[in-house]
Chain A
């Protein structure tokens, strides 16, 4: 039975996610369909805000450990700005966005921009960019989900009898994709935004439990952290303990600054973060979430660095560093514990997909259809929302069967592009009463196009710039600085120029509960 422990863990996780979807459906019975299905009735509590408002995906538990194992201690500097994420995410835009969303009644991120600047073109641009970027992101996440399940399905299983090989995708991969599609779509369709958020909380707790279990096991197996550092130095030279990293200029100083800015500030421009800042219930929740996320990040990221430095002494010379997480877990933990640890990234991928699907659905149904047909009934909107989730997921799953290898690069590209497009407009929304819709529109497209211009030539040429993570595809690093920084600067310049055109829309008016009571 222990041979099936990882598979059983994933099955238990999927069953739990379905139950969470059902619970979310029951919680959404109050309020109208749109506000409850797409925004959870603005009722998110501290745990939901703390553990889901910042971007965590399967990459946190798979890609990051691989970097630590491969490049050494410099990765601690690469990830260091996660110390600032709670403050930057919640204390800068939290209250203004929460208030503006309520004052305008906005339910989606495009709607927030549209209502704040009174511009239909701005809203439609935001919807278009969001759907375009999230579709790329979905394909990559579907692939991640299928790969994890593929790894735990026994090779001698009956899968081959029923599922064909499609192109270069094995029957196990196709089966994994099918199961991932059915489970994730089912609970998302049923539970909407709350299902996406609650499964995200669940996987975040699972991830923390995994780290807490792995830390003492790894230090014990390595014979201490110093042994891990020494093993890394012996294998890769003293550069393992210094910057810019072992075997490659992974993080020159210019990139160290770029990533400090990117990890801490890019989150402010992520639609997944912005929609949560529109959905929390009170400023007390915001404060508590700030503290909880600070403690959570400290418990996750610093121990992950320690665990995978120690891994150098436990699993020396692993060629495919991407596999270090499952290899280490299976080596030092019993099968049931390693099953739980492997379930964490699967849960993270499920939660990310679920969140993407709800946001794409809200853009298609609320931002396009509902605005074109304002008299549409709730029953029609509900059917369309669910249909759009199923059809979007089906398109992404089919694309996954034909997916090329550049998907990992696309994950980074889509995250950076979303931040480049939405960060400056979000700051203008909150803090610039004299900003115009032209300025916001220019900032949105200026940031996105600059990011595209720095990625596409790099992909086409395939030239390795010699810095950053080793990959099959590289962006153009002008002066050694990451594209996000240039794109954000370009977005800000476009905003300054665009703000000279048109009339400021002005801030919406706050409707105080207390003033309403006085009037009564």
Chain B
């Protein structure tokens, strides 16, 4: 069957959107709890010179997503044939 968009491609896209949702909930969700509404707060706890909320809310999810991305790049994205390149179309064909 010469299906242009395979079920595997759809699955991969759906997984990426799930990762996107998880990353956005973690990053924006955590930061919204720990980094906002603190105008009169004392200076934050620093970890390695960074505010703790940056470490747990941005840097940590960043490296988790990096690991997931490298897994996708290592084989999570399946190799598929792209097909033969067809001639450049022209208006006259429509």
> Could you list which residues of chain A lie within 8 angstroms of chain B, going by C-beta atoms?
32, 34-35, 42, 73-74, 76-77, 80-81, 83-84, 86-88, 90-96, 98-100, 102-107, 111, 114-115, 118, 120, 224-230, 233, 238-239, 241-244, 253, 256-257, 260-261, 264-265, 282-284, 286-288, 290-292, 294-295, 298, 302, 306, 309, 366, 370-372, 374, 430-431, 433, 507-516
Contact = CB atoms under 8 A, between A and B. Distances in A.
Contacts, number: 231
A36 to B, nearest CB: 11
Given A81-B27, A105-B88, A242-B41, A225 B4 contact: no
9 contacts: A95-B5, A105-B89, A233-B43, A238-B38, A244-B36, A260-B28, A430-B5, A510-B4, A512-B83
Contact of B73 (A73, A98, A103, A290): A290
B31 A256 contact: yes
Given A91-B77, A294-B73, 9 more contacts: A87-B72, A90-B77, A95-B9, A99-B80, A120-B91, A229-B50, A242-B39, A430-B5, A513-B81
Interface string B39-81: 1011110101111011001110111011011101111011111
B72 to A, nearest CB: 6
Contacts of B86: 102-105, 511
A239 B39 contact: yes
Contact of B81 (A42, A107, A514): A514
A309 B58 CA distance: 16
Contacts of B16: 87-88, 91-92
Interface residues of B, number: 66
A507 B5 contact: yes
A287 B72 CA distance: 7
A225 B83 CA distance: 51
A39 to B, nearest CB: 9
A283 B82 contact: yes
Contact of B88 (A32, A99, A302): A32
A511 B65 CA distance: 35
B10 A102 contact: no
A242 B35 contact: yes
A509 B4 contact: yes
A266 B74 CA distance: 25
A290 B77 CA distance: 10
